[in-house]
Amino acid sequence: MNSNAKKTLGAISSICIVFVIYLSSTAFISSPEWGFYGHRKINRMAVFTLPPEMIGFYKKNIEYITEHAVDPDKRRYATKHEAVRHYIDIDSWGENALKDVPWIFDDALMKYADYKLINRLDTLGLQLQYSRDTVNIYLDHKSYAISTDTFRQFFRNEVMPQYYEDDWTVSNLAVRDILEDYDIDGDLHIKDEFSQEGILPYHLNTMYYWLVKAFQDGDYEKILRLSAEYGHYIGDAHVPLHTTKNYNGQLTDQVGIHAFWESRLPELYADSEYSFLVGKALYIKKPLKYFWGIVEESHSLLPDVLDTEKELTQTFPEDQQMCYDERLDRTIKTQCPEFSRAYHDRMDGMVERRMQDAVLSIGSVWFSAWLDAGQPDLNLVEKLDIKKEVIKIDASINTRDHSN
């Protein structure tokens, strides 16, 4: 290949890379969770659930709370660890997953990880049988029973600090401390088989303690950042399609239902028909239980979301199901108003109720974190001028497509 041809090929490659980055940076515009409109609406209305001791601070900064409700969606295209915070495919873990999957993040990782003991001569599969009290370890035709508390402490000390790394390895010496009756000559390699199915309720619980700490520290900028982003994840947890591996109907020939349910319907009806007068924020005594309750309720609504749409597509005139619409100076194909109305009405207010519940949940989480922090005085805090976060798109990161 001559030098001119190489230059031409290089220029074409550069254009292609820029185009891919552009597509990645704009992909979330058409169909993020609840849509940008929905997330902003939910966060904004949550401010009005707060008590007098809090509402002044939040109202002064309501534009920030509203606008930055969508930051986590933008970050999905900037860091590979972000996307899994927006969902949990609870049905990936079996029919009784809501009972079987541990509520504690360390325990879930520990239970579902893939373990291999690698020495100089061989690779040995290490099987774990997990229960509340005992971890039975099966290795090379031998078995060991270790208390769950002991193995949990080992996992937290040796494995969890490596969570954001690609490979988890525990040294020979650390493994011997656990399997002291076995002559170990090798390292333990652990593969995370859990996070890829989503970690939403675990992240909600972690963020709760971040927000409490921000209130305790009087870090008002962090309070606002966390409050705005917290609202996003809580909103996601109220979406039934964020609790299933069939998140976009791709397993039931219903591709596109994700954006239909959580973006198209709120954009059509929320301003004109929905009420967001949801009452005052409530104190949450057990945040972890509360977050898992949201997931369980959302998941219980999933059959209605899918079955209603499936039945409607089979009876509604086909030429009235999909139409072309102008969106952000682009022509897109989306559900027709008549079809949207029919689906919306058959669900009998489900979308409105989930948005209302999300509003009250967000306000209640803010309120509860403030109470648990000792009710710091927010009345003297003025409107903050927070420097906008620069989120750089990484075109190599693959995320779920909810738009088709």
137 DSSP β-pair partners: 128, 144
DSSP calls for 192-247:
--SGGG--HHHHHHHHHHHHHHHHHHT-HHHHHHHHHHHHHHHHHHT-GGGSSS-T
Is the CB of residue 139 less than 8 Å from the CB of residue 117?
Answer: yes
Could you say which residues of the chain have pLDDT below 50? 1-33
Handedness of CA 106, 110, 113, 118 (dihedral sign): positive
Instruction: Give the tokens for residue 190.
Output: 């652990």
Residues 224, 206, 84, 307: is their CA dihedral positive or negative? negative
- Residues 224 and 336 placed together within one structural domain of the fold: yes
Q: Report yes or no on 378 lying in a domain.
A: no
Question: Residues 255, 355: one domain?
Answer: yes
Both 64 and 153 in one domain: the answer is: no
Residue 102, in any domain of the structure? no
Last residue of a domain, one of 191, 208, 232: 191
Using CA atoms, how far residue 276 sits from 46, 60, 291, 355, 398, in Å, is 9, 20, 21, 8, 35
Q: Do 364 and 269 reside in the same domain of the chain? A: yes
Q: Per the structure, how many domains does the chain have? A: 2
Instruction: Look up residue 187 and give its DSSP letter.
Output: E
Is 327 among the domain residues?
Answer: yes
Q: Which CATH number do you get for residue 363? A: 1.10.575.10
| 148 and 85 part of one domain | no
Instruction: Put the strands of the sheet holding 123-130 in their side by side order.
Output: 142-147, 134-139, 123-130, 114-119, 186-191, 168-170
How many Cα atoms within 13 Å fall on the side-chain side of residue 177? Answer: 11
Confidence at residue 10, expressed as pLDDT on a 0 to 100 scale: 43
Answer whether residue 390 is part of any domain. Answer: no
Closest alpha carbon to 393 in 16, 86, 23, 11 = 23
Same domain for 142 and 74? no
What integer pLDDT is reported at residue 212 of this predicted model?
Answer: 98
Helices 350-372 & 220-237 angle (0-180, nearest 10): 150
Q: What is the pLDDT of residue 102?
A: 95
State how far the Cα of 38 lies from the Cα of 124, in Å rounded to an integer: 50
Helix (H, G, I), strand (E, B) or coil at 258: helix
- Domain membership of residue 387 (yes or no) is no
Q: What are phi and psi of 41, to 5 degrees?
A: -65, -45
Is 388 inside any structural domain?
no
Same domain, 271 and 354: yes
Residues 300, 328 within the same domain:
yes
What digits encode the pLDDT tens for the residues 130-144? 888 999 988 777 788
Whether residue 281 sits in one domain with residue 163 = no
Q: Give the end of a domain, one of 142, 173, 191.
A: 191
From 145, 171, 191, the end of a domain falls on: 191
Residues 53-63: tens digit of each pLDDT? 999 999 999 99
- Give the per-residue pLDDT at 182: 62
Q: Is residue 399 part of a domain?
A: no
Give the per-residue pLDDT at 402: 63
238 and 321 share one domain: yes
At 293, list the tokens: 């309750």
Asked if 219 and 76 sit in the same domain, the reply is yes
Provide the residue range defining the domain that includes 348: 8-97+198-372
pTM of the model: 0.87
Q: Kindly state whether residues 264 and 347 are assigned to the same domain.
A: yes
38 within a domain of the structure (yes/no)? yes
